[in-house]
Amino acid sequence: MSGADLGPRGQEPGPGLVKRACDGDVRALGRLISLVENGAPELRAVLREVAPLTGRARVVGLTGAPGVGKSTVTGALVTAYRERGLRVAVLAVDPTSPFTGGALLGDRVRMQQHATDQGVFIRSMASRGHLGGLAAAAPQALHVLDAAGFGLILVETVGVGQAEVEIAALADSTLVIVAPGLGDAIQAAKAGILEIGDLFVVNKNDKPGAQETVRDLRGMIAMAQHGPDDWKPPIVRTVAADGEGIADLVAKLDAHQAWLGSSGEGERRRLARARGEITTLALAELRQRMGALPGDSAVDELARRVAAGELDPYSAAGELIAAAS
């Protein structure tokens, strides 16, 4: 690799960047993810080139409060799927901050056993300047990793909240990880996270209180309405640091994957995800077009007429839509 297009800022990526990333060039791949983060203008061309190569990767989301051991579970899953020969990518996104910049959990994993494994790619991602924020950036990163031939993509998210729920919606299967001894773990689960969990992991199962945590979770899952053909989220107990319970977790993940296929839910989720991605991009694009218009005559003239009472705001909005389209 010449490294010429990984050079100083402002240099355009070479036309071969996607091809090199797909050929296993880790630095080219990293550069593509940076383009996604920054919402670079070249991104459109990249995504056009990438599109025909996508649709093969399996995406697993991992979420949970800080301290439950998300990075340890992630690392253990990487090991397990590497043993099957899958190429595995880890994308760590922090929806609470637009300026993550590489200090996230996934990096700790990178430093350890997978550091020299060419079949593993680990990257944390922010959304510096990406139009539409992480909600738009994350699916684009998934497309790039998918095209680059990673059979499994693990998406790790930090914190609890709406943004996290949106990012969890990107996954085929979502793991909600809790741990005993964290008083708010189940509380967090109650606050909406319960609905997004396809599988629940009680990590640190050797710690006091694990039994109660499992019982609480079981009670909450039982209260949720499940039809006869619905997936019933299993609870898997792990001590991820020792690899304990990981084989069971992998088996349950495979069972969920099989159910996604047989029930049609997997296809439904993929379509909903594409719909959400398209809508988010379209609205961000329109917001930018409208924001770009002031200074130019269209919006200013509409604003003048509304302020003067010559035009009502709905009619003005209609004209603006026409102008921005």
Chain contacts with a second copy (rule: CB under 8 A): 43-44, 47-48, 50-55, 139-140, 143, 270-275, 277-279, 281-283, 285-287, 290-291, 294, 299-300, 302-304, 306-318, 320-322, 324-325
Segment holding 125, helix H or strand E: strand 120-125
Partners of residue 175 on adjacent β-strands: 62, 199
Least distance (Å) between residue 47 CB and a second copy: 4
Q: Which amino acid is at 215?
A: R
Least distance (Å) between residue 228 CB and a second copy: 26
Least distance (Å) between residue 319 CB and a second copy: 8
**What one-character-per-residue DSSP string does 77-95 give?**
HHHHHHHTT--EEEEEE-T
- Residue 1 CB coordination number (10 Å): 11
Taking the least distance from each CB to a second copy, the nearer of 254 and 310 is: 310
Least distance (Å) between residue 17 CB and a second copy: 16
Taking the least distance from each CB to a second copy, the nearer of 48 and 84 is: 48
Taking the least distance from each CB to a second copy, the nearer of 138 and 246 is: 138
Cα distances (Å, whole numbers) of residue 133 to 34, 95, 96, 167, 248: 14, 9, 11, 11, 36
Taking the least distance from each CB to a second copy, the nearer of 176 and 260 is: 260
Taking the least distance from each CB to a second copy, the nearer of 48 and 190 is: 48
Q: With 0-12 CB in 10 A as exposed, 13-18 as middle and 19+ as buried, what is 62?
A: buried
Instruction: Tally helices (H) and strands (E) across the chain.
Output: 14, 7
What residues contact residue 197 under an 8 Å CB cut-off, 6+ apart? 174, 175, 176, 189, 233
Least distance (Å) between residue 199 CB and a second copy: 23
Q: What is the β-pairing status of strands 235-237 and 120-125?
A: unpaired
Least distance (Å) between residue 317 CB and a second copy: 4
Taking the least distance from each CB to a second copy, the nearer of 137 and 201 is: 137
